[in-house]
Amino acid sequence: MKNITLDESAYSAAFGIEMAPVGRLAGPGGAASFGRVLPGGETTPHQHDEAEAFVILRGEGELVVDNIVHRVGPGSVAVFEPFETHTLRNTGDVPLEFLDLYGRDPARATEAAANTGRERFTDRPVFVFSTPPTPNGDLHLGHLSGPYLGADVFVRFQRMNGVAAYHLTGSDDFQSYVVARARQKNHEPLQVAAQYAAEIRATLSLMDIMIDQYTVTGTDPTYREGLQDFFSRLVRSGAVQRRTDAALFDAETRKYLYEVDVGGRCPNCSAPTGGNICEECGEPNFCVDIVNAKSNLSIAEPVRGTADRFSLPLHNFRETVLAHHRTGKVSPRLQELARRVFEREEFHLPLTHPSEWGVPPVEPVEGRQVIWVWPEMAYGFLHGIAELGRRHGRDWSADAPQRDWKIVHFFGYDNSFYHTILYPVLYALAYPDWACDIEYNVNEFYLLDGEKFSTSRRHAIWGKDILSSETVDAVRYYLCLTRGETERTNFELAACQAVISETLIGRWQGWLNGLGAHIAALFDGRAPDAGVWSPIQSAFLARLQTRLDAIAIHYGADGFSLNGVMRELNGLVDDVIRFSKAHQSLSGNPGTHDEWRTVIALELAAARLLAQCAAPVMPRFAGKLAEAIGTDGATSHWSDHVTLLPPGAEIQLAGACFFAVPRTASSGDSGQMEVQGPPPAVPGAIEPTALEARLRAILHFESDAPVRSKSLADLGLTSLGAITLQHMLRTDWSIDLLVSDILEAKTIDKLFALVVERSAAREEEGVLI
């Protein structure tokens, strides 16, 4: 026995309260401490790898876990999993005292780390926002690869896990860039916004991006009044007040300069910048502090003056922002941006600007001013939730945000300041009783041929020029594979086309076609039951499970990475191709038939797994693949375990065409896409390269491995492979060859000559092939 007497001097500051360590307990890694929360105090939100339990000894309070409040008092016991964010708050008049028990459990920690969000999001609405695009042009691949594709995939995966997740976005009509575009087109801003808002919505649909709420701010009948009420809340808080500060004006027109109308060098990082925000470093500017500022309204040098605007003393809210960042997912890059911003001693951020385009506040202002579109957006998110709730019969109000709301933002780094610093402050001021629960997913710039995509300069590949029902999944695949997540990445059309042709068509589709041909030739088109299992085969099943677990982590809320998902999907296909190739020798031996059908059963399990895991990123491919192997349900529900196909399921993979190579007018092609699958059954369609492609699929050769220079025997074409090729020739080109004819042909050229001869004979009979 160890008797410990707790001395008052043992208490010291820790986690925002007072803690006194007791010491180690029996068992590996176990320890205990006493904690004391003074009236009105609370613990600092944090995460750690230990499992933990609080035993409340004295006092009353609240435990906040995943933004849900639980009342606690003497005798309450709360158990926390590793990495679970929790806050203990004293709501009484006496100190809240508790015993803290904690210890490391590696198995429990790794299990908790693999949480995909399903547990945290249970019984909560999850509102996933992609930053509303500016309607000054249509969406290009740079836009699509970022917030919109990311949010769509996130929602699809969470829904497969039973989460009530919704994707919300809209048209950010009151951006100053809409006015600039209207000047170029000699149109009214409202007309320009309406045109491009419709085009944007259509392009999102072409990209198979599902939108549950699309708010058009310029025409929504209740938006203007709701925004004004939100701004009035900010003013009533006392923090947002009118203030006169330096401002910049065009020397000729005397117009106030901000955002699109001014540019120069960033005062923080010296990179080229526009007004109010720098896309390079992410820090805001005040326009008047831009180095070598140039007006975009005239060639005259801008002049300094003053402007009376409603402003927010942001420097007073450092702790508000840092506390908010401790409760959710905020990347190191975003945390570093907050550190830089709050290094400023004073930071009075204007929330209104002189302009004719936008929603004016109801409060008196100097001249004609509007609520700046960026603080406006903070309200727009809540308005979108309310409109979604109205259509779904839910009691969701923008005036009364609820604690159980989970908000997940997807945005480009250039919008980081607004989302992660400004909006939490505005919500704290407008709704002091609401603790917003927000997680942030940021993407870096996606370049086009080494330069930024640009709507204004028309340096872009527009979504509508490359997307079709045949190409959309291939485009989604490549954007997911190469989008900028932690660093800037580059898009080149030729590289995109090559990867789709070689990887999706050459390897993915080639493997699936070959598997289908094997099953059609040897198992009458039905899935065989697994037979005898070898240690290598059981190990491969474990390997598939490892891939599934890794993909789930990359789809999950904490580890969300589309780059990671695509690497794992490519790895899954590579794994099964190697596995199949290693077992080819079993196919022609009657004594190993039971092991061979286990190989086929495992390949089909891999195909089913591919359909499930590809569903959030390539929904059309996944659905078509699931249908081809008779498992339609594989794409609607996320299974945590690899599953074999039911024996006897009809398999229709042979000759299936899943992908197409996208083309655009700028790439020198006349069409939008090029479908690559089985050659059409017309005279002259059979080429030696087509036979090469079939042999590569059967033999699982890399796309650049030499084939024409080797004999069929040297290539390893077995009798089973010959049967598979026989089936392909019959299915794709209506050519009947004996297996012995194929094996006796010796080389591809001789085999091609035999096919041409048989084709000519059939043409003479009046049969087109």
pLDDT at 769 over 50: no
pLDDT at 23: 78
How many other C-beta atoms lie within 10 A of the C-beta of residue 245?
A: 13
Give pLDDT tens digits for 525-540: 999 999 999 999 999 9
Give pLDDT tens digits for 364-377: 999 999 999 999 99
Of residues 697 and 16, which shows the higher confidence score? 16
Tokens linked to 292 = 């070598």
pLDDT, mean of residues 715-723: 66
Sheet holding 446-448, edge to edge: 451-452, 446-448, 489-491
Q: If phi over 0 gives left and psi between -120 and 50 gives alpha, with beta otherwise, what is residue 66? A: left
Spatial separation of the C-alpha atoms in residues 213 and 493, rounded to whole Å: 32
Picking from 168, 174, 165, the residue whose alpha carbon sits closest to that of residue 135 is 174
pLDDT at 704: 59
Let me know: does 219 contact 352? Beta carbons within 8 Å: no
Domain residues of the chain, as ranges?
Answer: 8-113, 126-227+372-451, 468-662, 678-764
Give pLDDT tens digits for 462-477: 999 999 999 999 999 9
pLDDT at 698: 63
pLDDT at 1: 61
Q: If phi over 0 gives left and psi between -120 and 50 gives alpha, with beta otherwise, what is residue 92? A: beta
Question: Fold for domain 678-764?
Answer: 1.10.1200
pLDDT at 678: 41
Q: If pLDDT is split at 50, 70 and 90, which confidence band does 683 have?
A: very low
Angle between the 373-392 and 223-236 helix axes, to the nearest 10 degrees? Answer: 120
Spatial separation of the C-alpha atoms in residues 232 and 735, rounded to whole Å: 77
pLDDT more than 90, % of the chain: 74
pLDDT at 744: 73
Return all residues near 281 (Cβ < 8 A) that are at least 6 apart: 266, 268, 269, 271, 337, 340
Give pLDDT tens digits for 404-432: 999 999 999 999 999 999 999 999 999 99
Q: If pLDDT is split at 50, 70 and 90, which confidence band does 749 have?
A: confident
Return all residues near 283 (Cβ < 8 A) that are at least 6 apart: 266, 268, 269, 277, 337, 340, 341, 417
Rounded alpha-carbon distances, angstroms, from residue 98 to 9, 32, 38, 48, 72: 17, 11, 12, 19, 11
pLDDT at 27 over 80: no
pLDDT at 686 over 60: no
pLDDT at 641: 97
pLDDT at 677: 43
Return all residues near 551 (Cβ < 8 A) that are at least 6 apart: 565, 568, 569, 572, 613
pLDDT, mean of residues 495-521: 95
pLDDT, mean of residues 190-205: 97
Picking from 551, 653, 530, 507, the residue whose alpha carbon sits closest to that of residue 602 is 530
* DSSP summary character for residue 60: -
pLDDT at 560 over 70: yes
First to last CA, the chain: 90
Strand-pair partners of 53: 79, 101
CATH label, 8-113, candidates 2.60.120.10, 1.10.357.10, 3.90.230.10, 2.40.50.140: 2.60.120.10
Given CA atoms 707, 710, 716, 720 in this order, what sign does their dihedral have?
Answer: positive
pLDDT at 588: 73
* Length in residues, the chain: 769
To the question of domain 468-662 being in CATH 1.10.730.10, the answer is: yes
Spatial separation of the C-alpha atoms in residues 376 and 230, rounded to whole Å: 9
pLDDT at 745: 74
Tokens linked to 469 = 């029902």
Give pLDDT tens digits for 610-643: 999 999 999 999 999 999 999 977 899 999 999 9
**Side chain identity at 62, as an amino acid letter?**
E
Give pLDDT tens digits for 431-457: 999 999 999 999 999 999 888 887 766
Pairing status of strand 673-675 against strand 213-216: unpaired
pLDDT at 567 over 50: yes
pLDDT at 685: 45
Let me know: does 586 contact 598? Beta carbons within 8 Å: no
Given CA atoms 326, 402, 67, 119 in this order, what sign does their dihedral have?
Answer: negative
Let me know: does 442 contact 483? Beta carbons within 8 Å: no
Let me know: does 140 contact 466? Beta carbons within 8 Å: no
The CATH code of the domain at 126-227+372-451 is 3.40.50.620
Neighbour-count burial of 480, counting CB atoms closer than 10 A to its CB (0-12 exposed, 13-18 middle, 19+ buried) = buried
pLDDT at 284: 98
pLDDT, mean of residues 700-707: 59
Spatial separation of the C-alpha atoms in residues 511 and 505, rounded to whole Å: 9
pLDDT, mean of residues 546-562: 97
What is the pLDDT of the chain when averaged over all its residues?
90
Spatial separation of the C-alpha atoms in residues 467 and 678, rounded to whole Å: 22
pLDDT at 117: 67
Question: pTM of the entire structure?
Answer: 0.86
Tokens 């944007």 -> residue: 200
pLDDT at 719: 59
pLDDT, mean of residues 262-290: 97
pLDDT at 665 over 70: no
Q: Choose the most confident range, by mean pLDDT, from 81-85, 167-171, 665-669.
A: 167-171
pLDDT at 699: 62
Phi, psi for 492 (deg, rounded to 5)? -130, 130
Q: If pLDDT is split at 50, 70 and 90, which confidence band does 22 have?
A: confident
Helix (H, G, I), strand (E, B) or coil at 169: strand
678-764 shares the fold of 8-113? no
Give pLDDT tens digits for 67-108: 889 999 999 999 999 988 889 999 999 999 999 999 998 888
Helix (H, G, I), strand (E, B) or coil at 295: strand
pLDDT at 668: 38
Tokens linked to 92 = 């009484």
Spatial separation of the C-alpha atoms in residues 132 and 259, rounded to whole Å: 17
pLDDT at 424: 98
Q: Where are the beta strands (DSSP E) in 298-344?
A: 303-313
pLDDT at 157: 98
Phi, psi for 304 (deg, rounded to 5)? -90, 150
pLDDT, mean of residues 494-499: 95
Picking from 208, 158, 116, the residue whose alpha carbon sits closest to that of residue 623 is 208
Spatial separation of the C-alpha atoms in residues 769 and 11, rounded to whole Å: 88
Give pLDDT tens digits for 568-615: 999 999 999 999 999 998 987 888 999 999 999 999 999 999 999 999
Let me know: does 638 contact 156? Beta carbons within 8 Å: no
pLDDT at 123: 86
